[in-house]
Structures are given as structure tokens and as C-alpha cells.
Amino acid sequence: MNILGIETSCDETAASVVQDGREILSNVVASSLKDHSRYGGIIPEIASRRQMELIHPVVGEALKQANLQVHDLDAIAVTQAPGLIGSLLVGISFAQAFSFALGKPLVRVDHIKAHLYANFLGFNDPHFDSFLELPRLPAIGLVVSGGHSSLFYVRDFTYFVLMGQTRDDAVGEAYDKVARILGLGYPGGPIIDRLAQKGKNDEIRFNCASLPESFDFSFSGIKTAVLYHVQRAPVQDEVAATKIAYAFQSSVVSVLVGKAIAACQKKKVRTLLVGGGVAANSELRGRLSARAKEEDIQAFFPPLSLCLDNAAMIAGLGYRLVKKRRG
């Protein structure tokens, strides 16, 4: 079964063809990030206008790379929510028209849940890690990105129970804001991660709100703590920025690791799925993998290309929803 996935929830315009919910035949992503960088964040109007320009050629390129014709498709999957309203409308409108014109089923996919499905995808390559072992369900799913920080109990591909989420800033949003405070540019996640890897420090400490007895997160306080620190001691050089980046990232990752492992223990599951843009963070991947191994839990991360928003995850989860619909 060949599923065309369409993803336009934020600034990316993406299309992908996935076969049988597993094998990625094509995965095309056009980003308008450079159009937003000078503003220090995503401008919704710019994003949706670029997506209107790009959606048709991106879908065409996805079909071309998959070596398929439109009549070879079995269904269309599109991001339904969450996301920027204007951007979502571009993708949904295109998918509805395409589905109607082809007489193919249309399935609407939750963007956050699809990030977890990225762990089940693979390319037609025997050396690609995702083909070596599939995660086993049930699992705990941790989604961490610029817009979301959520913990789910995942019984199967159509049963997700939200266990916790951010009460204020998403973790990726906190990274972007701290990078802005430090004058490092946008997006902030990769920049902070690179700086934090350059060394440790015992001089500075930042703390995230622990929110005991809860699987919720809060990252607004630590962002404010960094701001107050910089106001008291302005950053003079890269060494100072490196120490702040290390202290910030260390605290954030500690909270993510602790809550994810605690959720696995509470639900007595041995599989942990991680997804979203922050899943590419080197510190999170290293520390969470190590802690999971200590607790006899298998932690899965998508390849870096599937951590960011993409349409392959939409097509993959869409396949499962189509199968469920058909019984």
C-alpha cells in the first residue's frame, strides 16, 4: 500500500511516499527557515505564503523520487493538527482536492503522534538501523520540539493517552529563547547543543521546575533564570556563553530523562519512543539511552533526518489509520 503524506504544520512544506507503513520511497522537505531567521522565529504569514508556492512542486518531486504515478497511490495522509492555522489549511486544502480528484481515501493525522511513529520507519537500505529492530508496543512516547513537550502512553498506533505536557514553554521554544538571550541566532537548539558540548562548569546552576507527582514539564522558569543571570553578568565571550549553554542544557535534559524513565516505570513498559526536533539533541540522546539501558528499557530515536518535521511520519501513521478504518 503506497501512502502519500503531506506535512505543512509549521514552516516546512513536505511530501513523502511510504510503502506499507514502513519503507520510505521518497521524503522531500522544502523549508522556509531562512525567510524567518532574521525575525528570530517563525512568521505565520510568511510560512503559509511560501507553502502555497511550494506544495505542488514538492508533491510532484515526492512522486518522481518514488518512481510512482498518481494512480499508484492508495491513500492520501495529511497533517490535521496541531500547527499554524494558515499553514495547516494549505496542506489540508491541497490534500482534499488531490484526494477528490484521484478518488483516493483521505486520512487526517495528528502531527505530535506522528513524530513517535518516525521510529518505525526505514529506507530501502539493509544498513539502515531502523530495519534491524522494530520497537515493541506498548511504549512510553516522549515528543520534544519547538512547539511541544509531551509524554504519552502508547498501547497501539491508534491508542495514545497523554500523561504529561508542558505547562508553559515547549522545550525547543526555551532553547530558542535562551539562544536569543545569548545573541546566538535562530534556531537555538543546535547552537546551544554545540556550545554545551565544549565543556563543563561548576560555577553556574539553573533549575527547571520539578513539578513533583506530575509528568508535566515547565521550562519558562529556567529561561527567565538565564535572562536574569545575563543581566547581572553580561556575556563577554564564547567561554561565558559555553558555560551558560552547558548549565541550561544539563538541567533541561535531566528533567526530560527523569520524567520519561519514571513514566516507563509507572506503566511497567520496556519501550521508550522519542520524537520531535529536540530528539536530535546529542545530550538527550546520550543520557537517555544510557539511563534507559540501566533500567532495562529500550530507547528508540529516529534518524536525525526524521526528527525534524517531515511527511514520511505522516504517511507512515496514515497507513496504520487506513488499515484500522478498513478493519
- Asked if 61 contacts 15 with a C-beta cutoff of 8 angstroms, the reply is yes
96 has a pLDDT exceeding 80: yes
Residue whose C-alpha cell is 500547527: 83
Say whether pLDDT at 124 is over 70.
no
Cell of 230: 545575563
pLDDT for 187: 87
CATH of span 139-302: 3.30.420.40
pLDDT at 78: 98
What global pTM score does this model have? 0.93
pLDDT for 123 equals 56
CB 206, CB 247: distance < 8 Å: yes
How large a percentage of the chain has pLDDT more than 90? Answer: 83
- Compute CA distances 239 → 102, 144, 198, 201, 246, whole Å: 58, 28, 9, 10, 11
Instruction: At 316, give phi and psi (nearest 5°).
Output: -65, -50
Can you give the residue ranges of every domain in the chain?
2-128+306-326, 139-302
78 conformational bin, left if phi > 0, alpha if psi -120 to 50, beta if neither: beta
- Dump pLDDT digits (tens) for 27-71: 999 987 777 677 777 888 999 999 999 999 999 999 999 999 999
Q: How far apart are CA 219 and CA 119, in angstroms?
A: 26
Residue 187: closest CA among 281, 287, 67: 281
What does the mean pLDDT of the chain come to? 93
pLDDT (tens digit per residue) in 143-162: 999 889 999 999 999 999 99
Cis peptide before 138 (omega within 30 of 0): yes
pLDDT higher than threshold 50 for residue 130: no
Query: Residue 284 has what pLDDT?
Result: 98
H or E segment at 271? Answer: strand 271-275
Q: What is the mean pLDDT of residues 272-288?
A: 97
Q: Which residue has the cell 513517535?
A: 116
Contact 73, 102 (CB under 8 A): yes
Q: Mean pLDDT check: name the lowest of 9-23, 114-128, 190-204, 290-304.
A: 114-128
Contact predicate 318/3, CB 8 Å: yes
In terms of residues, how long is the chain?
Answer: 327
Across the range 83-98, mean pLDDT stands at 97
- Fold of the CATH domain 2-128+306-326: Nucleotidyltransferase; domain 5 (3.30.420)
